[in-house]
Amino acid sequence: MISVITCTWNSMATLPQTVESVLSQKGADFEQIFVDGGSTDGTLEYLRGLPHAPRILEGIGGGIAKAMNAGAQAARGEYLCHLHSDDYFLHPRVLQRVAGHFEANAADWLFGRILYDRDGALVPEPFIVPEYSFEQLVRRNFVPHPASFIRRTTFQEVGGFRTDLRFAMDYEFFLRLGQRSKPLALKEAFSVFRVHAGSTTVKNQLASFEEDHAVRLRYAGHGWTERLMHAARYRVRRRRLLAQLERG
């Protein structure tokens, strides 16, 4: 069984599409768990009224990392997926495909790709996805959170998401996980990431960039060559981001 964990907080604008994309899944056993941080916009009423009676954890404050950890702790499935309330599965056979990949491989975790939802239009990721290696992951986070799946026992052994991070908790988790075992890196798209002004990665792009870099350095090698390489990339990427933010 796959446990699909969705964290919510005043999510009614996008949550129904997330829920429908999960309920439409065919050919796989799954459960839905919702972790709510105190919604007041009708989110909880909507969830309580769903016909399949999902499991709802209410009043989980303290940030998204704590909410994701709470959902994982409550999960009963063999595998976990964190699908946030503004993301959704691409098609009704996603979980069947994921289950089949786990059955055919000995991986502790796997990830596929995502599409971006920009005002209803689905567009591909705006970069060339490198072949997976831990060294490549240290250079850049190219593991899309909504398209990643992990064995529940592995999640518990690795220790979950760090609650002291505001933006890079998923990147840090994937780095910690990548040190432990190599994932099954797939080219097929599983999920859709909705891009809008209210999403955390859009609202706080510079702060997220800086936290990503701080996390990256914790896992980078300690040699001067590698340190200089990361410093050079940091300066180039920061200039690009600042120019992008100035253009609006």
Q: Do 152 and 229 belong together in one domain?
A: no
pLDDT under 70: residue ranges of the chain: 196-203, 222-225, 227-228, 230, 234, 236, 241, 245-246, 248
Q: What is the CATH number of the domain that holds 10?
A: 3.90.550.10
Q: Do 152 and 188 belong together in one domain?
A: yes
Of 154, 178, 196, the position where a domain reaches its end is: 196
Q: Do 123 and 219 belong together in one domain?
A: no
Q: Do 67 and 136 belong together in one domain?
A: yes
Give the Cα-Cα-Cα angle 139, 162, 150 (nearest 5 degrees).
75
Q: Do 159 and 215 belong together in one domain?
A: no
- Report the b/e string of 170-182 with b at 16+ CB within 10 A: bbbbbbbbbeeee
Task: Identify which of 30, 50, 34 has the alpha carbon closest to the alpha carbon of residue 92.
Answer: 30
Tokens of 79: 């595998």
Helices (H), 41-147: 43-48, 64-74, 94-104, 134-139
The total of other beta-carbon atoms located within 10 Å of residue 13's CB is 14
Q: What is the pLDDT of residues 124-134, one digit of tens each?
A: 998 899 999 99
According to the model, what pLDDT value does residue 209 have?
A: 83
**What's this model's pTM, rounded to 2 decimal places?**
0.90
Q: Do 61 and 29 belong together in one domain?
A: yes
According to the model, what pLDDT value does residue 65 have?
A: 96
According to the model, what pLDDT value does residue 19 have?
A: 97
Q: Do 105 and 136 belong together in one domain?
A: yes
Q: What is the pLDDT of residues 57-115, one digit of tens each?
A: 999 988 999 999 999 999 999 999 999 999 999 999 999 999 999 999 989 999 999 99
According to the model, what pLDDT value does residue 24 have?
A: 97
Q: Do 119 and 230 belong together in one domain?
A: no
According to the model, what pLDDT value does residue 2 have?
A: 98
Of 157, 172, 196, the position where a domain reaches its end is: 196
Tokens of 24: 């439409």
Of 165, 180, 196, the position where a domain reaches its end is: 196
According to the model, what pLDDT value does residue 97 have?
A: 98
Q: Do 221 and 182 belong together in one domain?
A: no
Structural domain count, the chain: 2
Q: What is the span of the domain harbouring residue 178?
A: 2-196
Q: Do 102 and 213 belong together in one domain?
A: no
Q: Do 219 and 134 belong together in one domain?
A: no
Q: Do 180 and 231 belong together in one domain?
A: no
According to the model, what pLDDT value does residue 43 have?
A: 97
